[in-house]
Amino acid sequence: MYNLNNANTDTLSLNTETAVNLENAIFDAQLFTQAAQLAIKLLETYLADTSIRGLALIEPQVLLARAKALMTKQHLYINALDTEKLSAMMVLLIKTGIQVHSSGYMGRQFSGVVPLAAVFDFICSVVNQPASFYEAGQLPSVVERLMADEFNRFIGWQNNQFAMVTTSGGSLANLTALLAARNAKYPQFWSKGSVAAGMRPAIALSEDVHYSIMRAIGILGIGTEQIVRLPMNSARQIEISKVATCLNEAVQQGLEVFCIVASAGTTSVGAFDALEDLAKIAAQWQCWLHVDGSHGASLLVSDKLRYKLAGIEQVDSFCLDAHKLLFVPAPCTLLFYKDKAKSYGAFEQQASYVFEQAEDSYTEFDSAKQNFECTKRPSIMNLWVLWALYGKALFADKIEYLCELSQAAYQVLNKTEDFETLHLPESNILCFRYCPANVFAGSSFDFQAMIRKQLRAEGRFFISKVEIDKRTALRVVFMNHRIELKHFCLLLDEIRQIGQALLKTYQS
Ligand SMILES: *Cc1c(COP(=O)(O)O)cnc(C)c1O
């Protein structure tokens, strides 16, 4: 026991003057307004900038020095606010980022966010209401329920029978769902570890699942050697006709497949697995079907595109990243379970300081029991504000536009002689290669990767790359509606220029 009487009273006496100083110097409401207005001005200019730009790539050591130069060197007292320095810090952050609102941004899956959503994000930071416990984040807690019901309009589960939890990212959602799947099949795994399983628990998936699934399998103690690989068809979907054979072979090897992982929008090419067929198979084999819809399950909100997720109501769990195709700040992920009871199976918990013994109407809204995170950002608020004000139309229109743009870009590529397409775009991801007649097939010469690197250095367009059939391909992801077909054509021109220059350098 800590004895107050023995404590050094010097350290206990509070310096109230310091508190007053802090209040005046840093926590002052007007100072906050001043700083916030500075940010708003800069962001307004940033958002109004319609120029084509990718990334201003800076050598890390240079940026390190620049950032360090902005840090105070005296630590004895609190400085008055240096607005110039503050402004310089804000500018540095804005300028060094991938320009997600520009038509030159075609590289990653995080969105050019709807700026209005960020306003709520800002409020959430000031009022700091973590969302895992009702008492800490009351509105976020009820809003999660509201948004779950909104999405269920596109799924069709029975009210109150399903569950939705939010996580910070699709990776964490995948891990959480797979934990729930494992614990549903092996209830004693949590306490006894893998010996409780008796057999070798295995997970079936295709080569194109996101790497977070592999990590989850490692973390779960399943072991990557217990992965059953399901072959893909030419559209890079799980080849349904081969699944049963694979599962049979797994059984012969002493494996027990308790879960099939499918994708709704693969990261590489945006392919959608056939969920209805997989759900039938999962039911036959009595295994859990989890759908990683981080990228593409947002297509649910579109009447035109929802068919790609046909069968979603039959899957055990699926997730979607709202920070991708629902255009809110990262991270904001929604993880759905068909069976509410199973959502409580991912984690076991005993912590008297947060979990109540007796359930009441408040604790029923604590999402912490279903979620790994304890202190969690109330990221659902950003989605809610847009949904509450504009409904699904905002999202559906934007998604449909981006998917149509991908189709149009595919057509453009097909009409060229020097570009090769690799797949029909199923969503807003499109992979291709620049293959002019004069390119040679040197083994150590990764032409596509070099193009991508040079393109990034030029700073006008930002795209990504991906391995398809063990060869590098260029990859564009259309994440903001400012991108038009003409921008894609400009990108192709720049790729041609860069490619030809590279060929000159390396072939001479
Ligand atoms: C982006 C993505 C993930 C990872 O999600 P994070 O939100 O980045 O953690 C997982 N799966 C797929 C298919 C993705 O596209």
Residue with tokens 């009210």: 159
Ligand 1 centre to CA of 294 (Å) is 5
Per-residue pLDDT in tens (0 to 9) along the chain, 508 residues: 444 455 555 556 677 777 777 777 788 899 999 999 999 999 999 999 999 999 999 999 999 999 999 999 988 888 888 999 999 999 999 999 999 999 999 999 999 999 999 999 999 999 999 889 999 999 999 999 999 999 999 999 999 999 999 999 999 999 999 999 999 999 999 999 888 878 899 999 999 999 999 999 999 999 989 999 999 999 999 999 999 999 999 999 999 999 999 999 999 999 999 999 999 999 999 999 999 999 999 999 999 999 999 999 999 999 999 999 999 999 999 999 999 999 999 998 766 666 777 788 998 899 999 999 999 999 999 999 999 999 999 999 999 999 999 999 999 999 999 999 999 999 999 999 999 988 876 656 799 999 999 999 999 999 999 999 899 999 999 999 999 999 999 999 999 999 999 998 887 6
At 445 the pLDDT is 75
pTM (global) more than 0.85? yes
Tell me the two tokens of residue 247.
């599962």
Whether the CB of 428 sits within 6 Å of ligand 1: no
Q: For strand 288-292 and strand 333-337, is the pairing parallel, antiparallel, or unpaired?
A: unpaired
Whether the CB of 333 sits within 6 Å of ligand 1: yes
**Contact 476/72 with Cβ under 8 angstroms?**
no
Angstrom distance (rounded) from CA 300 to CA 308: 8
Q: Is 202 helix (H, G, I), strand (E, B) or coil?
A: strand
- Pick the atom of ligand 1 nearest to 173's CA: 9
Whether the CB of 499 sits within 6 Å of ligand 1: no
Ligand 1 centre to CA of 298 (Å) is 13
- Pick the atom of ligand 1 nearest to 209's CA: 13
Whether the CB of 295 sits within 6 Å of ligand 1: yes
- Residue 317 backbone dihedrals phi, psi, to 5 degrees: -155, 150
Sheet holding 471-477, edge to edge: 419-421, 429-434, 471-477, 464-468
Give the helix/strand (H/E) hosting 230. strand 227-230
Ligand 1 centre to CA of 30 (Å) is 40
- Pick the atom of ligand 1 nearest to 169's CA: 7
Angstrom distance (rounded) from CA 325 to CA 298: 6
Whether the CB of 109 sits within 6 Å of ligand 1: yes
Residue 44 CB partners (closer than 8 Å, separation 6+) = none
Whether the CB of 169 sits within 6 Å of ligand 1: yes
Angstrom distance (rounded) from CA 291 to CA 317: 6
Angstrom distance (rounded) from CA 402 to CA 396: 10
Angstrom distance (rounded) from CA 283 to CA 287: 6
By alpha-carbon position, which residue is closest to atom 2 of ligand 1? 294
Ligand 1 centre to CA of 168 (Å) is 11
238 forms beta bridges with 232
Give CA angle at 310 (378, 281), nearest 5°: 105
- Residue 218 backbone dihedrals phi, psi, to 5 degrees: -65, -45
At 1 the pLDDT is 43
Ligand 1 centre to CA of 213 (Å) is 9
Q: Is 432 helix (H, G, I), strand (E, B) or coil?
A: strand
Ligand 1 centre to CA of 413 (Å) is 27
- Pick the atom of ligand 1 nearest to 109's CA: 1
Angstrom distance (rounded) from CA 318 to CA 291: 5
At 256 the pLDDT is 96
Whether the CB of 267 sits within 6 Å of ligand 1: yes
Calculate the dihedral angle through the C-alpha atoms of 169, 316, 289, 257, rounding to the nearest 10 degrees: 110
Angstrom distance (rounded) from CA 297 to CA 325: 9
Ligand 1 centre to CA of 102 (Å) is 22
Whether the CB of 345 sits within 6 Å of ligand 1: no
Sheet holding 163-167, edge to edge: 163-167, 333-337, 317-321, 288-292, 255-263, 200-206, 227-230
387 forms beta bridges with none
Angstrom distance (rounded) from CA 132 to CA 137: 7
**Contact 437/503 with Cβ under 8 angstroms?**
no
At 443 the pLDDT is 55
> What is the three-state SS of 308-344?
HHCCHHHCCEEEEEHHHHCCCCCCCEEEEECCHHHHC
Ligand 1 centre to CA of 170 (Å) is 5
- Pick the atom of ligand 1 nearest to 171's CA: 9
Ligand 1 centre to CA of 178 (Å) is 15
Tell me the two tokens of residue 95.
């300028």
Whether the CB of 366 sits within 6 Å of ligand 1: no
Whether the CB of 321 sits within 6 Å of ligand 1: yes
Tell me the two tokens of residue 150.
């909104």
Q: Burial-class residue 159 by CB neighbours within 10 Å (0-12, 13-18, 19+).
A: exposed
Tell me the two tokens of residue 109.
């899956």
Whether the CB of 171 sits within 6 Å of ligand 1: yes
Contacts 24+ apart (CB under 8 A), 215-222: 215/171, 215/175, 216/171, 216/174, 216/175, 216/178, 216/179, 217/178, 219/175, 220/175, 220/178, 220/179, 220/182, 221/189, 221/193, 221/194, 222/182
**Contact 271/263 with Cβ under 8 angstroms?**
yes
Q: How far is CA 346 from CA 38, 147, 175, 179, 227, in A?
A: 44, 22, 9, 5, 20
